[in-house]
Homo-oligomer: A and B are copies of this chain.
Amino acid sequence: MANELVRFSVAMPEDLLVEFDKLVARRGLAKNRSEVVRDLARDAIIAAECEEPDVMVVGTLTIAFNHHASDLQERLDRIQHDHFGHVISSMHVHLDEHNCLEVIVLKGTGDEVRKIADRILGTKGVKHGKLVLTTTGDHL
């Protein structure tokens, strides 16, 4: 059946293993060596995939803006509707009287996601933003 657990053996110098076990311990009680090796492997694979322009990725775009800025929310909504095929959903947080945080989850090729993110980040009134990419990871 698909995706059985396979075992393989890793050789590591004792000194490195001592440091690695500290890293495992810092990652929390529920983690063991195997789990941390899998985490590191996934991170490296996903980082490589996200650099490819054509691989399907999921992007989380976090933007901060002042909601008093003239019709900014409306313009942001319009851009998201223009790309409804790639915008999965968004979450709005009221940071204080004036400032909003919006988190927008995007799906598409790396190039598509970066392009939409650039359009949103380029909207007048958006004060700050950051995009992080991950892959759907369904094969990981």
Contacts and interface: CB of A to CB of B under 8 A. Distances in A.
Size range of the chain A interface in the assembly = 35 or more
A67 to B, nearest CB: 12
Contacts of A74: none
Give the secondary structure class of A's interface. Answer: mixed
A69 to B, nearest CB: 11
User: How many copies make up the complex?
Assistant: 4
A15 B2 CA distance: 8
A122 B31 contact: yes
Contacts of A105: 91, 93, 101, 103
Contacts of A9: 7-10, 34
B33 A12 contact: no
